[in-house]
Amino acid sequence: MNNTIEEGKSIAITSYILIIGVLIAMSMNSENKNSFASFHIRQALGLSLTFISFGAIISNFDSFFITFPMWICISILWTYGIFTAIQGQMKPIPLVGNVFQKWFKSIG
């Protein structure tokens, strides 16, 4: 298991570079599937899609008091995800990580 984590760590970290990183990580993980990398690809994909969706909805309001909390929330979740990847842990992102694992179980 530890060898799997070390092999997939660079792919997992790459996946957290917004949507481009997810696509690159999926490409890197396509031949030799790594369970650690797949876990973080699903987390990062969900986080990227959440960011884009919330951004599209919230951009209509044009209010600092609405956009700032969204940015803080996404930043905290992203930071949590990337630090668990760096530390070699497979902890789901709080609140939404388990949902992302269910929704994207075929991806990775």
4-17 per-position pLDDT tens digit: 888 889 999 999 99
Query: Which contiguous run of DSSP H or E holds residue 43?
Result: helix 35-58
Q: Where residue 2 falls among pLDDT bands split at 50, 70, 90? A: low
Residue type, 69: P
**Any idea how long the chain is?**
108
What are the Cα distances from residue 68, in Å, to 23, 41, 77? 27, 26, 14
| Res. 1 pLDDT band, cuts 50 70 90 | low
Under DSSP, is residue 32 helix (H, G, I), strand (E, B) or coil?
A: coil
Q: Residue 58 and residue 101: Cα distance in Å, rounded? A: 25
User: Could you report the per-residue pLDDT of 36-88, keeping only the tens digit for each?
Assistant: 999 999 999 999 999 999 989 988 888 889 889 999 999 999 999 999 999 99
